[in-house]
Amino acid sequence: MDKQDPPCSPIDYAYMKEHNKLGDAMDLFGNHNLLVIECCKRGLSNLLLNAFGFSFNNDGTLRDDILNDNNQRKVKLIAFNFNITSEDNDNDIYVESSIQDRRALFNTSCHKTTLIAIQDHEDKNSQVNFCKGDRFFGYKQINYLNKIYWIVSHCIKNGPAKILKKQDLEYMLVPECYLEPLDYIVNWTRSSTKVRKSDQNTALHIAAKYGNRTIVELLLKLGWSTKLKNAKGMTPGDMARSAKNLTLGEKIDFYGMNEKNLFDAFELIENQNMIINSLRNGYAIERDFYTGKVALGLPPKTIRFGPYVASDAKNKGIVEKISVIEAHHVIKANNVKILKKRGDVFDARAKSINKKGIPFYIYNDKKIIPVSLTEMVIPRYKFEWIDRINNMTILDMAEMKAEEYTKQLKLIAKPGIPSVTKEDSSSIYETVKRANNIVQLLYLKGWSHYTSHDHKKNHNLLLIYAMQYIENCHETLLDYLNRGMMIRYKPDFDNEGDLYRNFLYNLKDKNEYNQIISIPCPVGMQKVIYKHANTCEMYFVFETFEPFKLKPVIRGAKSQEDLKIEKYDERIKSAQTKFLKLDKIQPNMCYAPDYCMQGTSGGTLTALDVINRKIECLEKVGMAPKAQLKNYRLIRALLIDRGWADWETALSKAEDGLVEVKKKMDGYTRLLSTESIVGNPEKIANLQKMIDAAKRRNCRIEAAKSELMELNVKDKVAHRIIRILQRHALLNRLKS
């Protein structure tokens, strides 16, 4: 027999001899975690409420009667009166009233639980021995070498376990089958034995299967997970749906999901003010488990927007507190160590991803912890969240509602509808106004359609689309770009490609139906991290397309507001590009340089590629309106100034690059003939190296220039130009 496995237990022996009733009774006796599952099977909700310190409010909701702030939640012990003569006799299970029998609840905020050895253990490999009855503090269950272990330390109150090793071990690995928890374990599942295989069902799985909503809500409030899967791969929500309880399954799946609560709040018009309050002040919207109604909590709970970015936190003064929900451990040479315990709270300094693609937080002294073992103390909305039922984002829903209310307003405004009163018209008008206000707030908080492939939503795609049909919207487009505002597609524009209509909202023209939504969206803005002299600062920058130059032109500022008013920081102007790196998370609300879309004749096109072709066509005609051609050229110049790649610009800059290199070589050559250099072999060698490097750069520029000149008309587009410049190491741009 494997020494890591205990001998056959009396319970297993009873099952082996087919004494199932006896085995069930023995299994329940003294096993309070299994008794929680048994209570879920029998529907003993009042017993569980009593044990865990909950009761009912007058309105039928659950009230927590244990409102203490410490990590140890002391609850009553559920006991079993040994009885094998009756089936499911509810009197067999009762709650101990003795204060001495109070137990802790080992959940995400609790550091440790108390474990007791149920068998003697001797292992010469790990040299960790203990006797039946010895107690330990357990911190985490892990799967190590295909076996389940507890990470434990000595329980000093009950005497240390016997250790054969000379050095003192702070933490040890003990096979799970040798230990039994004295406390309640959240998400506890029955372990497999030689006789019985575990179904991996938690108490929440069973409560969901039997449809007991009171017990389900209780377990959710106590921290039972909605995502754990049983041996059949089913979550608690799946178990409810398998029992044809679809509503309960949906409630379980969406429990505590802030994005879903906000999304569903759009269903009712009367929730508009609540949504505005939530977005403006950063308050989370909560849902009543029974009624499903959404409302702001009392008191309101704080929530933040979008992903955590360390550079943002540093500049905005936001300290991101992270809570550990699963102990962080490492194992080296069979020795285990816990780096962070459950319930620990720390301040994150940064967030990154390792070579295996696993995200982690960085905290004090460059220590790291995987993100999967943590949760944010103050939750955040995920911008990319999509409602799986409607296949819509929160921004999609807000815009759909705004469009729907606008159509209602247009309908009642038509003449010949006598039943519509002034009060009705005024009410709908205010509804439209609030709906547009919500859309604007969502954009300002960080939601966007930047990942969408629909040109009506994605502002980068809409910019390229607008260039294709620019004939009647060039004034509006130039106005938007100069102001650094986001262009938006008119929802009532039905005939795509109609060159006789402007399909963009106009910033200048406001009407009684649509409140104009002004969303800042700078042209070509990028976010960079400036690392120099042990400093790390975030800047927003504009980068001009100037290939072949030794140093690019970069204009930057600490904030988007300063960048917009051209209040540039002198440090960025003089900074060397090797100290400037593009941040991995770029702003969503900006027009990205060289953003491409698939062209109708194949290949990819940027907004500048399209406007160049429009200018070329107008110049060939020779009779184009001067104002129209002027606007086209102004748009083209703005895009080049903000980093878009252009064939004509690249070719002209090649000449500038050759002149710059020639000046460098002439300067080095003159230095070689000066008296201070003559007779100094080391300086002469260094100058010769610089001259050789300049010559090589001159050759690369000539080769790139030659390739650019050989391009045909169809190939004079951004992705071709960039590829040539990259091949010759002359693109001269900031890198990630």
Q: Which residues of the chain have pLDDT under 70?
A: 1-7, 67-72, 83-90, 124-127, 155-168, 310-317, 365, 413-424, 491-502, 507-516, 533-534, 599-603, 675, 678
The C-alpha angle 172, 175, 181, rounded to 5 degrees, equals: 90
Answer yes or no: are the C-beta atoms of 140 and 327 closer than 8 Å: yes
| Cis upstream peptide for 299 (omega within 30°) | yes
Q: Record the tokens describing residue 603, joined without a space.
A: 């290949």
pLDDT at 422: 64
On the CB side of 230, how many CA atoms lie within 13 Å of its CA? 21
Residue range 251-302, pLDDT digits in tens: 999 999 999 999 999 999 999 999 999 999 999 999 988 888 999 988 889 9
pLDDT at 167: 46
pLDDT at 687: 85
Answer yes or no: are the C-beta atoms of 242 and 248 closer than 8 Å: no
Q: Assign residue 509 a region: left if phi > 0, alpha if psi is -120 to 50, beta otherwise?
A: beta
* Eight-class DSSP state of 384: T
Whole-number Å distance between alpha carbons of 392 and 401: 12
Can you give the length of the chain in residues? 736
- Global confidence as pTM: 0.85
* 717 to 612, 704, 711: CA distances (angstroms): 9, 15, 10
The C-alpha angle 180, 184, 190, rounded to 5 degrees, equals: 55
Beta pairing, strands 105-106 & 184-185: parallel
Answer yes or no: are the C-beta atoms of 572 and 541 closer than 8 Å: yes
Whole-number Å distance between alpha carbons of 696 and 693: 5
pLDDT at 316: 59
DSSP 122-145: --TTTTB-B-TT-EEEEEEEEEET
DSSP 465-496: HHHHTGGGTHHHHHHHHHHTB---B-TT--ST
pLDDT at 5: 53
pLDDT at 667: 87
Per DSSP, the three-state class of 376 is strand
In the chain, the domains with their CATH numbers are 110-182 (2.30.30.40), 256-293+388-446 (no CATH), 304-378 (2.30.30.40)
The C-alpha angle 308, 438, 381, rounded to 5 degrees, equals: 20
Whole-number Å distance between alpha carbons of 550 and 144: 55
Answer yes or no: are the C-beta atoms of 91 and 42 closer than 8 Å: no
| Other CB atoms within 10 A of residue 613 CB | 17
Whole-number Å distance between alpha carbons of 260 and 361: 26
pLDDT at 317: 63
